[in-house]
A and B are shown apart, each in its own frame.
Chain A
Amino acid sequence: MTAFFALTKQLIKSTLKPSFKDEKEKKKYIGTYIALAVCLGIPYIIMLVNIFGLVKASAELGCLAEVLSIGFFMSQLLTFFFGLFKYINIMYFSKDNEFLFTLPLKSVSIFWAKFITILLYEMIFSLLTVIPVCIVSIIAMATLGDFSVGILLMMLPATLLLPIMAILVIALLSFPIMKIMQFFKNRPILGAVFTVIFVVAIYVAIYLPIVLNSPGVDGSEITSGAAGNAGESVSMAEMYAALLPSVASIGKYFYHTYLLAMSMTVGGVKAFGYAMAFIGIVVILAALGTLIAMWQFKRISQGVYENNGATAASKKQGEVKQASLKKALIKKEFSSVLKSSNLLIQSGMMMILPPVLIFFLGKMQANTTNSFVGLAMAELIIKLMTSSNTISILAVSRDGEGALMAKTMPISANQIVWSKIFVGFVFSAITVFLSTVAFSFIGGVNVLQVLGFFISNIVYAWSVNRFCVYRDLKKPRVHWKNIEEIIKNNFSSVIPMFLAFIPGLLVMASTMVYGIVLTSLNSYVVGAIYIATTLVVSSVYYLIVRGFSKGNVEELWDRIE
């Protein structure tokens, strides 16, 4: 086997293949995945059923290409969102870089081996989003008597090429991000702030033109347009007829995915032309992007571990101050978080992105449908994002072997764990506050909805941080040399996020129902019902989490080794 293939094979294996200490751990892992698949399978099937209806309606209304274009773009956004830090971690922060550069391999080979690994990882997500949507579309079209050969033919190229574009954008954006991080290597807070601002600016740059160009449709127009009188219940078909053409028009703005969608829907020679145009764009961008990425790879990677070797002494002299045990523990937690730029950036992103996404997606929905759809989306976004709080997910692991030292100190484990939940909660609470502010600006929401959103998500934030800290306490990874090791290979982050789908989808679904069914009621009455529902969901979630995370803290802490 050539060196390049040996390396690629190894990187794919170490990134994608889970390793288990024993059979028990393997069974637990498989069990967790089956449970997750069952939990997620239900909303996933519901989503596919909705897509079936959506595709049928859009085909009948003549806007199938636009709808598919939006779907493909969303898939790329997902790849971008989940891939950004995966790319940076595997490409630059991976602890194997220092080792790999000592081997007789060209840096180009190392780059490609890593790039292929990241691509495969992202293609798995792409497979789960693009292929089922395409199959459902083919079935939907078949019920209309149109066997769509275009979708069938382009299904696989779409799955392979859509993530490539997203990863190339990531590859190009990773340079300025790494530059910022390296420039502020001794000031992680500043580095994190600038990085977060930079990434948020990218999101704003993506969403702003869409929001500005999206057509305005008043919520009342939907019901009146569809059923004649506001307040009457409307069928899905009627609602699609009223909404789809205007919503779908956004799809034309995503030029590359629109080309792909056209290649699937127009048929004949034209379809071939669109397909070639799409593939051409991807190939040209791929060639340019990888050239630039390769050129910078070795320099940036070596810069990362060079920084680890060059630690400038702090000029600040230690101050002698006395603090209570609680304050001292909280201070220590904040200090450990604020000293890791990668941890800070990940947490910062989860803090700043929800309000940005809520504002833009909410605004888009408020423009095109009504504010309740925006509210429903906001609920799902905030629940998913607060569940991805790395600070709590790695609450104990990030202490490293310091966690073992803490066992020798005369401190109650309950106090340590409480301080960890509190610090994680502070970051989540800031997210909730900023998201509430963003949410209140999307238009068409009343004070009760804003209040309900804030209170219920504060309860949710405490629950989810508690859950994450307990999960980490049960099985922390304390033996590491560089904190990037545990941030990078952080499977734990997936479970709380997946679990967040349950309350998120519950609140989202109930909110949608209010927005569509209860439109005849006074908006404040609907707001009050919304508060009650979200509070019930958040409180039930808290009680369930409490039940799951009960256990004896002292005993669990004692088990860390």
Chain B
Amino acid sequence: MSEILTITNLSKKYKGNDRYSVKDLSFQVKEGELFAFLGPNGAGKSTTIKCITGALPYSEGNIKICGNDLHDRPIEAKKNIGYVPDNHFTYDTMTGGEYINFMADIYGVGVNDRKTRADKYVELFGLTDAIGKPIGSYSHGMKQKICVIGALIHNPKLWILDEPLTGLDPQSAYNLKVLMKEHCKEGNSVLFSSHIIEVVERLCDRLAIIDKGSLIISGSMDEIRAKNEDNSLEEFFLSVTQGDALIGDESEEFKF
């Protein structure tokens, strides 16, 4: 399997901050892989994702998407990405349909392809009645759905989602998970961040755990289970990220 995303020694320090938000991070996402990025709040997941998508500049390291270095060939690299940000940014004055068309224009998607894909996803997410209305009138979950459609309209090689399940109703969350799996089956890859361990455990092929900007561990679920000596992923996660250990340390009776 060829590598869709290769991150080598990525470091990111925000302007005016002394400490690194991401430090010396390296991992790969391979073709057809559903890769999860797990970490507690403030671990550096969103920062890493923003560096990969080109939203944030990074100080050290390399990011390659489908063989294109993000620094040297940013347009070629970004053409392979579909990104669903955690803030679900869209233009509120646009209707859902206009937004999908806009994204298709940006990625140069032909009329037939955009129509086929838009119809499929709009129906899947139950947005048929809302597609002609301004996005400003959408609920949080509907905005999330329209962002997902916008990110998939060009059938990207690498689909990146930052905290994708937050705010979705159970049916839409299920549909999204199915879509993520289908996208990988078609030979593409998915990278998503989450701090919901159960979702990660059930969904992903491989995962990376990140804490305080550094990679703690990465590997397939089987590899991590093997290292984990029969503990659950949750127990393993808590033991390696330390941040939440205080409660356990100080109040033994609250352990469960």
Decide: A6 and B94 in contact? CB cutoff 8 A: no
Instruction: Find residues 1-42 in chain A having any chain B CB closer than 8 Å to their own CB.
Output: 1-3, 5-7, 10, 13-14, 17, 19, 21
Q: How far apart sit A312 and B15, CA to CA, in the bound complex (Å)?
A: 11
> In the assembled complex, which residues on chain A have CB atoms less than 8 Å from the CB atom of B93?
13-14, 17, 19
Specify the chain A residue showing the minimal Cβ separation from B101: A6
- Can you list 29 A-B contacts with CB-CB less than 8 angstroms, sorted by A residue number? A3-B107, A3-B108, A6-B102, A10-B91, A13-B93, A14-B92, A17-B93, A19-B93, A19-B134, A19-B136, A21-B137, A96-B89, A102-B54, A102-B83, A103-B106, A104-B74, A104-B75, A104-B78, A104-B79, A104-B107, A106-B75, A302-B57, A306-B14, A306-B15, A307-B15, A309-B21, A309-B47, A309-B56, A312-B17
Q: Is B246 located at the chain interface by the 8 A CB criterion?
A: no
Max chain B Cβ within 10 angstroms of own Cβ: one of A13, A98, A105, A186 = A98
Specify the chain B residue showing the minimal Cβ separation from A15: B93
Specify the chain A residue showing the minimal Cβ separation from B151: A102
A7 CB contact (under 8 Å) in B17, B75, B106: B106
Q: How far apart sit A14 and B98, CA to CA, in the bound complex (Å)?
A: 12
Q: Mark B76-110, 1 if CB is under 8 A from A, else 0.
A: 10110101010101011110000000100111100
B14 CB contact (under 8 Å) in A19, A310, A481: A310
Decide: B106 and A104 in contact? CB cutoff 8 A: yes
Max chain B Cβ within 10 angstroms of own Cβ: one of A1, A21, A101, A306 = A306
A303 CB contact (under 8 Å) in B15, B50, B75, B134: B15
Give the distance to chain B from A29, nearest Cβ to Cβ, in Å.
13
Specify the chain A residue showing the minimal Cβ separation from B53: A102
Q: Mark A96-113, 1 if CB is under 8 A from B, else 0.
A: 101101111110000000
B16 CB contact (under 8 Å) in A21, A106, A312: A312
> In the assembled complex, which residues on chain A have CB atoms less than 8 Å from the CB atom of B83?
102
Q: How far apart sit A303 and B92, CA to CA, in the bound complex (Å)?
A: 24
Q: Mark B104-138, 1 if CB is under 8 A from A, else 0.
A: 01111000000000000000000000000010110
> In the assembled complex, which residues on chain A have CB atoms less than 8 Å from the CB atom of B47?
309
Specify the chain A residue showing the minimal Cβ separation from B147: A99
Q: How far apart sit A303 and B106, CA to CA, in the bound complex (Å)?
A: 24
Max chain A Cβ within 10 angstroms of own Cβ: one of B16, B78, B102, B107 = B16
Decide: A481 and B87 in contact? CB cutoff 8 A: yes
Q: How far apart sit A10 and B92, CA to CA, in the bound complex (Å)?
A: 11
Q: How far apart sit A72 and B26, CA to CA, in the bound complex (Å)?
A: 59
Specify the chain B residue showing the minimal Cβ separation from A298: B57
Q: Is B55 located at the chain interface by the 8 A CB criterion?
A: yes
Max chain B Cβ within 10 angstroms of own Cβ: one of A10, A106, A305, A481 = A10
> In the assembled complex, which residues on chain A have CB atoms less than 8 Å from the CB atom of B14?
306-307, 309-310
Instruction: Find residues 63-120 in chain A having any chain B CB closer than 8 Å to their own CB.
Output: 95-96, 98-99, 101-106
Decide: A95 and B89 in contact? CB cutoff 8 A: yes
Given contacts A19-B92, A104-B79, A481-B87, contact A310 B102 (CB under 8 A): no
> In the assembled complex, which residues on chain B have CB atoms less than 8 Å from the CB atom of A106?
74-75
Give the distance to chain A from B132, nearest Cβ to Cβ, in Å.
13
Decide: B102 and A185 in contact? CB cutoff 8 A: no
> In the assembled complex, which residues on chain A have CB atoms less than 8 Å from the CB atom of B137?
21
By Cβ-Cβ distance, the 3 closest A-B pairs, closest first, are A310-B14, A6-B105, A104-B78
> In the assembled complex, which residues on chain A have CB atoms less than 8 Å from the CB atom of B50?
98
**Partner-B contacts on A (CB < 8 A):** 1-3, 5-7, 10, 13-14, 17, 19, 21, 95-96, 98-99, 101-106, 182, 185-186, 299, 302-303, 305-307, 309-310, 312, 481
> In the assembled complex, which residues on chain A have CB atoms less than 8 Å from the CB atom of B15?
182, 303, 306-307, 310
Decide: B81 and A102 in contact? CB cutoff 8 A: yes
Q: How far apart sit A106 and B50, CA to CA, in the bound complex (Å)?
A: 17
> In the assembled complex, which residues on chain A have CB atoms less than 8 Å from the CB atom of B107?
3, 104
B106 CB contact (under 8 Å) in A105, A185, A302, A309: A105
Give the distance to chain A from B152, nearest Cβ to Cβ, in Å.
14
> In the assembled complex, which residues on chain A have CB atoms less than 8 Å from the CB atom of B89?
95-96, 98-99
Q: How far apart sit A305 and B53, CA to CA, in the bound complex (Å)?
A: 15
Decide: B102 and A307 in contact? CB cutoff 8 A: no
Q: How far apart sit A17 and B136, CA to CA, in the bound complex (Å)?
A: 14
Given contacts A3-B108, A310-B15, contact A103 B91 (CB under 8 A): no
Decide: B105 and A3 in contact? CB cutoff 8 A: yes
Give the distance to chain B from A555, nearest Cβ to Cβ, in Å.
25
Specify the chain B residue showing the minimal Cβ separation from A481: B87
Decide: B85 and A302 in contact? CB cutoff 8 A: no
Q: How far apart sit A330 and B3, CA to CA, in the bound complex (Å)?
A: 58
Give the distance to chain B from A320, nearest Cβ to Cβ, in Å.
25
> In the assembled complex, which residues on chain B have CB atoms less than 8 Å from the CB atom of A1?
105
> In the assembled complex, which residues on chain B have CB atoms less than 8 Å from the CB atom of A310?
14-17, 21
Specify the chain B residue showing the minimal Cβ separation from A109: B75
Q: How far apart sit A286 and B87, CA to CA, in the bound complex (Å)?
A: 36
Give the distance to chain B from A66, nearest Cβ to Cβ, in Å.
44
Give the distance to chain A from B6, nearest Cβ to Cβ, in Å.
18
> In the assembled complex, which residues on chain B have CB atoms less than 8 Å from the CB atom of A307?
14-16
Specify the chain B residue showing the minimal Cβ separation from A21: B137
> In the assembled complex, which residues on chain A have CB atoms less than 8 Å from the CB atom of B76?
104
Decide: A185 and B16 in contact? CB cutoff 8 A: yes
> In the assembled complex, which residues on chain B have CB atoms less than 8 Å from the CB atom of A3?
105-108
Give the distance to chain B from A548, nearest Cβ to Cβ, in Å.
27
> In the assembled complex, which residues on chain B have CB atoms less than 8 Å from the CB atom of A14?
91-94
Q: How far apart sit A91 and B51, CA to CA, in the bound complex (Å)?
A: 21
Decide: A98 and B78 in contact? CB cutoff 8 A: no
Q: Mark B37-60, 1 if CB is under 8 A from A, else 0.
A: 000000000010010011111000
16 further A-B contacts with Cβ under 8 Å, apart from A14-B93, A186-B16, A305-B56, are A10-B102, A102-B53, A102-B54, A102-B78, A102-B81, A104-B74, A104-B78, A104-B79, A302-B55, A305-B55, A306-B15, A307-B15, A307-B16, A309-B21, A310-B17, A312-B17
Q: How far apart sit A101 and B52, CA to CA, in the bound complex (Å)?
A: 11
Specify the chain A residue showing the minimal Cβ separation from B82: A102
Q: How far apart sit A105 and B85, CA to CA, in the bound complex (Å)?
A: 17
Max chain B Cβ within 10 angstroms of own Cβ: one of A10, A104, A309 = A104
Given contacts A10-B94, A19-B93, A310-B17, contact A102 B55 (CB under 8 A): yes
Specify the chain A residue showing the minimal Cβ separation from B160: A102
> In the assembled complex, which residues on chain B have CB atoms less than 8 Å from the CB atom of A98?
50, 55, 85, 89
Specify the chain B residue showing the minimal Cβ separation from A105: B106
> In the assembled complex, which residues on chain B have CB atoms less than 8 Å from the CB atom of A102?
53-55, 78, 81, 83, 85
> In the assembled complex, which residues on chain B have CB atoms less than 8 Å from the CB atom of A2?
105
Q: How far apart sit A312 and B93, CA to CA, in the bound complex (Å)?
A: 34
Q: How far apart sit A302 and B55, CA to CA, in the bound complex (Å)?
A: 7
Specify the chain B residue showing the minimal Cβ separation from A309: B14
Give the distance to chain B from A309, nearest Cβ to Cβ, in Å.
6
> In the assembled complex, which residues on chain A have CB atoms less than 8 Å from the CB atom of B17?
310, 312
Specify the chain A residue showing the minimal Cβ separation from B14: A310
Q: How far apart sit A6 and B108, CA to CA, in the bound complex (Å)?
A: 10
> In the assembled complex, which residues on chain A have CB atoms less than 8 Å from the CB atom of B75?
104-106
Q: How far apart sit A309 and B17, CA to CA, in the bound complex (Å)?
A: 10
> In the assembled complex, which residues on chain B have CB atoms less than 8 Å from the CB atom of A19?
92-93, 134, 136
Q: How far apart sit A102 and B56, CA to CA, in the bound complex (Å)?
A: 9
Give the distance to chain B from A299, nearest Cβ to Cβ, in Å.
8
Q: How far apart sit A105 and B53, CA to CA, in the bound complex (Å)?
A: 12
> In the assembled complex, which residues on chain A have CB atoms less than 8 Å from the CB atom of B16?
185-186, 307, 310, 312
Give the distance to chain A from B71, nearest Cβ to Cβ, in Å.
13
Q: How far apart sit A303 and B55, CA to CA, in the bound complex (Å)?
A: 11
